[in-house]
Amino acid sequence: MSSLAETVKKHVDVIKRRDQGDLTPREIVKELDRYIIGQDSAKKSVAIALRNRWRRQNVTDEIKDEILPNNIILIGPTGVGKTEIARRLARLAAAPFLKVEASKFTEVGYVGRDVDSMIRDITELAVTMIKAEKAAEVQDKAKKMAEERILDILIPPPKKSQYSAQQQQTQTDEDQQSKVEEEHHTTREKFRERLLAGKLDERVVEVDVPSDSSPMMQVFGPVGVEEMGMNLQDIFGNLMPKKYKKRKMTVAEAKDVLTQEEAQKLIDHDAAIREAIERVENSGIIFIDEIDKVSGEKAKGGGADVSREGVQRDLLPIVEGSTVQTKYGMVKTDHILFIASGAFHVSKPSDLIPELQGRFPIRVELKSLGEEDFVKILTTPQNALIKQYTALMETENIKLEFTDTGIREIARIATEVNEAVENIGARRLHTILTTLLEEILYDAPDAVSDKKITIDDTMVNEKLSSIVTDRDLSRYIL
């Protein structure tokens, strides 16, 4: 079970960014530059789209609902940063974000996912996001309540005197009861001090936790029924009393489990759902990848059973603005920002049906990445691959050091393989680095010497030159 502490850590930056809606486009681009190399025109377009959302929230009510988002189509080969731009934008805005692939949807009436499912999915994500934020807000109170429950387990409250009112308790009985309660309070406070100091973390206790043994309910019927409207599992689950089971765990584990349970009790779930729907409707971002695969040009080679133009026509009302039924209520899609992407090697945006083209007025072409871009990708971003591998090797007490010539040679080889085999953009760097460091990663736990390993151009050539020159090997390995 994931602890509340982990959830809080994941979402605390979301809470901090909630009031950062006044970021200027220039500041948004600067934030994106920390993770994404190049593609300035795409960053500029999404930054303007994000700022326009803030502007819309601050206009007069008369025209507010009339201002529609300017949806964007990102055009470019794989691995140039299309998905990462959308994902980082959503994190920056603390917005619900969902990535879907257009090719996974099918026209209504065929077996496959219906387009409404993307709205149900992003709403589910938003509810989880809001509840995590609400849990973070009440964490301190929930933690104290959990501590009281743990103390109740460690030091059970004293039983009241067995004498009833009808038996006319004597003063001696009352004094004895008072003394027992005072001793219990003193002992409890001593245990509280030890609990807060972490001295009881390894002690094993028995905790009542919710049982997951309720039977699963499946609904068989037309496509999408299992995702639509009423959630029968929730309905019938709420009709029956919640079952608990005893589970042994350490006090440290019990703190997390009980804090999470108490936090859920403190949350107003109805209010969280309302806020989640509002955030989806006004801040949600849906990234539709591979939209070129449902374009008209592709349809010529498609089978007769699935109409790609039919998928486009099913997508159209969602993008235009409609109301979708979810298990949390009705969700309007009018102001959700849609960012589509595709390589468009065979087809072109104009092959989409005219109505769908009109709903994506902004089109940005992303450039293919070259050697200089790869050098920057390897070193500049906060999550640069070299920084990742260096951190991984530090866990084995090995210092991995890349020279400038070594980095440039890796970038050169990535560019060469992309040109010779198939251009998969920055993803080529992953395969090349994995192949380059394979032996080091394998031998690291057993290494007794060479605690510092230097990766220079000579080593890169020794490891990769034979693979690069052999086109067949390159095709299968890199």
Claim to verify: residue 63 and residue 171 sit in the same structural domain: no
Claim to verify: residue 125 and residue 145 sit in the same structural domain: no
| Cα–Cα distance measured from residue 162 to residue 236, given in angstroms and rounded to the nearest whole number | 41
| Cα–Cα distance measured from residue 149 to residue 258, given in angstroms and rounded to the nearest whole number | 8
194 and 200 in contact (C-beta within 8 Å)? Answer: yes
401 and 452 in contact (C-beta within 8 Å)? Answer: yes
DSSP 447: -
Split into its structural domains, the chain has a count of: 3
Claim to verify: residue 253 and residue 283 sit in the same structural domain: no
Claim to verify: residue 377 and residue 459 sit in the same structural domain: yes
Claim to verify: residue 242 and residue 296 sit in the same structural domain: no
Claim to verify: residue 234 and residue 295 sit in the same structural domain: no
| Cα–Cα distance measured from residue 147 to residue 360, given in angstroms and rounded to the nearest whole number | 53
C-beta atoms surrounding 255 within 10 Å: 23
Claim to verify: residue 310 and residue 287 sit in the same structural domain: yes
Of 365, 396, 426, which marks where a domain is finished?
A: 365
Of 336, 365, 394, which marks where a domain is finished?
A: 365
| Cα–Cα distance measured from residue 237 to residue 319, given in angstroms and rounded to the nearest whole number | 35
Claim to verify: residue 158 and residue 110 sit in the same structural domain: no
Specify the pLDDT at position 323: 92
Point out the residues of the chain with pLDDT beneath 50: 1-5, 7-20, 162-168, 214, 216, 218-230, 298-305
Specify the pLDDT at position 395: 87
- Containing structural domain, residue 431: 371-477
Greatest CA span in the chain, whole angstroms?
100
429 and 384 in contact (C-beta within 8 Å)? Answer: no
Q: How confident is the model over 187-240, as pLDDT tens digits? A: 888 888 888 888 888 888 888 777 765 454 544 444 444 444 445 555 555 556
Claim to verify: residue 66 and residue 169 sit in the same structural domain: no
- Taking the whole predicted model, whether its pTM rises above 0.85 is answered as no
Of 217, 245, 266, which marks where a domain is finished?
A: 266
Claim to verify: residue 256 and residue 165 sit in the same structural domain: yes
Identify the CATH number of the domain in which residue 444 sits. 1.10.8.60
Residue keyed to tokens 């009112």: 165
Claim to verify: residue 262 and residue 146 sit in the same structural domain: yes
Specify the pLDDT at position 111: 53
**Amino acid sitting at position 171:** Q
73: closest CA among 439, 349, 367?
349
* Those residues with Cβ within 8 angstroms of residue 318's Cβ, 6 or more apart along the chain or in another chain: 115, 116, 118, 119, 324, 333
Question: Mapping DSSP to helix (H, G, I), strand (E, B) and coil, where does residue 371 land?
Answer: helix
Claim to verify: residue 350 and residue 376 sit in the same structural domain: no
Specify the pLDDT at position 173: 58
Identify the CATH number of the domain in which residue 68 sits. 3.40.50.300
